[in-house]
């Protein structure tokens, strides 16, 4: 479709997706990594999963969410890096600002992708295809990164289109061709068709989205209920979902996976404080407070346990978050011991939900805590998270070292 060809669809939706985002930022900032298989998420021997893999690493079968140790076996010459969330967030913010120059209707899906509804602004920039080309060029010039874009009259087809010709893709689904565009694609490309649904559909002889579109709707509804009707409609290329800008986060959290599973309560509480500080900082940065504090524990071999508590008043204060989280941790560990369970912990997390907008107001102590937190945030933003320690963190470190000496 020519850049200046008139767009005849009821809506013009773009889906922009930064290719191999985290790995691409690493390769951009470290020239010696360019052309090499880069795996972001941790070191090869560490417990954890792959956050991103460069296209050179993907050629060896490395994929996101794969255990790091499996990635090391598949790609022994891979370059493993822990990554830098601050740099990724900075790049993401710049990209979202570029998107917003073309339309106020930008819906971020993650740090590296977003939907744009350019229906009302396309005529100002020469049409949706011209906008896509300008976005790709500006992302490359401004950030040194590569953007793939899908264009369609709905979000479903725009998202699928952006995935088809990576890296550096630009795929246009002309209005009226949605069903034909989807028809030859495999079932797993369609939203709502997960492994279990696909297994059933393939058992019926369906292999492509076109096969699903031609299948009898009553049979789908009888097997899957309302979900069956929904995936049939999507298979026909129908999607009325709107682009909703600036969708508020439902929760804010931080998690940490230990290199070695631990039962050391001092070590767990030390990490809990660090995580609580991270959650508090992010809430203050977003001008929100949380009403419910939760902890998450993953214990050997792969069991996940959670505890949560709802507060009388929402908070964004580090120590309040930590004290609640520490109480939840001690309750959880006490319950386990009472039941004779001593499973070591491999992951610990802190989450705040029930978010409400607005800065915390109140008495002198609240104002003093707010000033302290603001000062800590400023120093850590400039010099790193380890630049300042609270006394409670140092006490936790001291108790952990004493415990280590007793073990030796």
Domains present along the chain, CATH in parentheses: 1-175 (3.30.70.270), 180-235 (1.10.150.20), 251-407 (3.30.1490.100)
Encode burial over 187-210: b for 16+ CB neighbours within 10 A, e otherwise: beebeebeeebbeebeeeebebbb
User: Mutual orientation of helices 226-235 and 217-224 as an angle, nearest 10°?
Assistant: 140
Largest CA distance in the chain: 76
pLDDT at 374: 55
- The CA distance from 372 to 317, in Å, is 10
pTM of the shown model: 0.64
Give how far Cα 100 sits from Cα of 61, 93, 124, 250, Å.
35, 11, 14, 23
Before 301, cis peptide (omega within 30)? yes
pLDDT at 1: 61
Strand ranges across the sheet with 170-172: 106-110, 113-117, 13-18, 147-152, 170-172
Tell me the mean pLDDT per 10 residues along the chain, length 408: 74 96 95 96 87 95 92 96 88 94 92 94 93 97 96 96 95 96 96 89 96 93 90 94 78 87 89 93 88 88 80 91 94 73 84 78 47 52 47 47 38
| Residues in Cβ contact with 17 at an 8 Å cutoff, skipping those fewer than 6 apart | 112, 113, 147, 148, 149, 150, 162, 163, 166
pLDDT at 362: 46
- The CA distance from 349 to 308, in Å, is 12
113 given a catalytic annotation: yes
Round to the nearest angstrom and report the end-to-end CA distance of the chain.
Answer: 71
Catalytic residue among 56, 113, 269, 317: 113
Q: Phi and psi dihedrals of 51, rounded to 5?
A: -85, -35
């Amino acid at each position: 479709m020519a850049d200046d060809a008139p767009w005849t669809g009821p809506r013009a939706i773009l889906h922009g997706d930064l290719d191999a985002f985290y790995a691409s930022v690493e390769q951009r900032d470290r020239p010696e990594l360019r052309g090499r298989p880069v795996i972001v998420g941790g070191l090869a021997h560490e417990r954890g999963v792959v956050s991103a893999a460069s296209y050179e690493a993907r050629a060896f079968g490395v994929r996101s969410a794969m255990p790091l140790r499996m990635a090391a076996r598949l790609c022994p010459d891979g370059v493993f890096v822990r990554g830098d969330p601050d740099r990724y967030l900075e790049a993401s913010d710049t990209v979202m600002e570029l998107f917003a120059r073309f339309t106020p209707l930008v819906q971020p899906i993650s740090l590296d992708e977003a939907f744009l509804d350019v229906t009302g602004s396309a005529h100002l920039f020469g049409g949706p295809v011209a906008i896509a080309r300008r976005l790709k060029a500006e992302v490359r010039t401004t950030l040194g990164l590569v953007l793939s874009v899908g264009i369609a009259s709905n979000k479903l087809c725009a998202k699928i289109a952006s995935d088809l010709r990576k890296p550096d893709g630009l795929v246009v689904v002309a209005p009226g061709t949605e069903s034909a565009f989807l028809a030859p694609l495999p079932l797993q490309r369609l939203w709502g068709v997960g492994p279990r649904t696909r297994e059933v559909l393939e058992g019926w002889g369906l292999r492509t989205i076109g096969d699903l579109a031609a299948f009898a709707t009553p049979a789908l509804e009888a097997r899957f209920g309302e979900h069956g009707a929904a995936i049939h409609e999507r298979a026909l290329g129908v999607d009325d979902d709107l682009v909703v800008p600036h969708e508020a986060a439902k929760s804010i959290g931080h998690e940490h996976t230990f290199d070695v599973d631990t039962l050391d309560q001092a070590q767990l509480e030390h990490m809990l404080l660090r995580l609580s500080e991270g959650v508090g900082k992010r809430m203050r940065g977003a001008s929100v407070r949380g009403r419910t504090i939760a902890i998450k524990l993953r214990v050997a071999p792969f069991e996940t346990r959670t505890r949560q508590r709802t507060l009388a008043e929402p908070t964004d204060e580090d120590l309040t978050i930590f004290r609640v989280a520490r109480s939840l941790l001690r309750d959880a560990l006490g319950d386990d011991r009472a039941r004779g369970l001593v499973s070591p912990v491999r992951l610990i997390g802190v989450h705040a939900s029930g978010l409400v907008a607005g800065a915390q107001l109140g008495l002198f102590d609240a104002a003093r805590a707010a000033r302290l937190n603001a000062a800590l945030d400023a120093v850590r933003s400039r010099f790193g998270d380890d630049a300042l320690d609270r006394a409670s963190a140092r006490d936790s470190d001291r108790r952990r070292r004493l415990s280590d000496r007793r073990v030796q």
